[in-house]
């Protein structure tokens, strides 16, 4: 198979995955439009800014758009994320976010692959099994594993994934790899309606179990699900740890993304 064209993949990513709200929305999630961007409000606090592009806004007009988002969340007393991509314009957008009080988190690489390139045999180490999960008990086990890996609070995952499954169970599949009752790795795939894309999330693996092909197996399993449903592409926001694995599987880097976080001032 020929090497996918990164520019064409990026164009498809921008057109199909950016600036559109999930439909249907999980219970309690609100969406507000403000000019070229979309503001997502979560029921238990916090939010997210997304857009396809900023419609050529720059200078003082762009600063005012940013300031309006800050005012909305400041009034709510909540932090929020502005998801910045490396190819977003204008070129000084990151500087303007910093001036407005945002703090950048770890950069990730957006990688995309044709589903057919990744789907295939699911190879697990001896003693490791893989299954799909839906119940809250398993979501709690996933959150506990993620918390053990990242050393921060991942309890929000439980309610978020449960709400997604409740409103549109066919659009989300969650799978875990286990051994002797212990969750070793978990990942989920979102089948994005009215697009050619399935998107992969999660994938954290307990340190003692890394390097055994568990993450690769979970990627292949989810790719197979996407192939069965007729999706054309897989997309991942890849960490520095997972990017090399994904690239060996046929994923192509098309841009980078950085979460810029604004938090209310502390008293």
pLDDT in tens, 111-170: 999 999 999 999 999 999 999 999 999 999 999 999 999 888 889 899 999 999 999 999
Q: What is the pLDDT of residue 71?
A: 98
> 113-255 belongs to which CATH class?
alpha beta
Main-chain phi, psi angles of 162, to 5 degrees: -65, -40
Do 18 and 197 touch, CB atoms closer than 8 A?
Answer: no
Rounded alpha-carbon distances, angstroms, from residue 102 to 4, 142, 188: 35, 30, 29
187's enclosing H/E stretch is strand 182-191
pLDDT in tens, 36-45: 999 999 998 8
185 CB burial (10 A radius; 0-12, 13-18, 19+): buried
Q: Looking at the predicted structure, is the pLDDT value of residue 1 above 60? A: no
pLDDT in tens, 61-83: 999 999 999 999 999 999 999 99
The set of residues, in sequence order, having a beta carbon less than 8 Å from that of 212 and lying 6+ positions away, is: 125, 128
Kindly report the pTM of this predicted structure: 0.94
Q: What is the pLDDT of residue 3?
A: 61
Mean pLDDT of 159-187: 96
CA 242 to the chain's CA centroid: 13
CA–CA dist 221, 48 (Å, integer): 29
For the chain, domain boundaries:
6-107+258-262, 113-255
- The overall average pLDDT reported for the chain is 95
Do 265 and 78 touch, CB atoms closer than 8 A?
Answer: no
Q: What is the pLDDT of residue 2?
A: 56
């Amino acid at each position: 198979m020929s090497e996918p064209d990164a520019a064409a993949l990026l164009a498809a990513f921008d057109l199909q995955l950016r600036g559109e709200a999930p439909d249907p929305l999980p219970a309690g999630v609100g969406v507000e439009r403000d000019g070229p961007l979309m503001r997502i409000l979560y029921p238990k606090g916090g939010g997210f800014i997304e857009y396809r592009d900023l419609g050529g806004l720059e200078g003082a007009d762009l600063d005012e758009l940013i300031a309006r988002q800050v005012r909305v969340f400041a009034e709510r007393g909540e932090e929020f994320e502005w998801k910045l991509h490396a190819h977003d314009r204008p070129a000084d957008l990151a500087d303007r976010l910093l001036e407005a009080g945002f703090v950048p988190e770890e950069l990730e690489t957006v990688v995309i692959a044709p589903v057919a390139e990744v789907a295939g045999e699911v190879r697990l180490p001896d003693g490791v099994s893989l299954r799909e999960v839906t119940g809250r008990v398993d979501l709690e086990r996933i959150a506990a594993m993620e918390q053990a890996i990242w050393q921060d609070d991942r309890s929000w995952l439980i309610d978020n994934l449960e709400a997604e499954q409740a409103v549109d169970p066919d659009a989300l599949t969650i799978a875990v790899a286990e051994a002797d009752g212990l969750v070793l790795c978990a990942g989920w795939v979102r089948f994005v309606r009215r697009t050619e894309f399935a998107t992969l999330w999660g994938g954290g693996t307990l340190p003692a179990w890394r390097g055994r092909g568990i993450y690769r197996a979970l990627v292949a399993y989810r790719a197979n699900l996407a192939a069965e449903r007729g999706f054309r592409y897989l997309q991942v926001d890849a960490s520095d740890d997972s990017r090399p694995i994904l690239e060996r599987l046929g994923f192509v880097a098309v841009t980078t993304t950085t979460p810029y976080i604004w938090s209310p001032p502390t008293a």
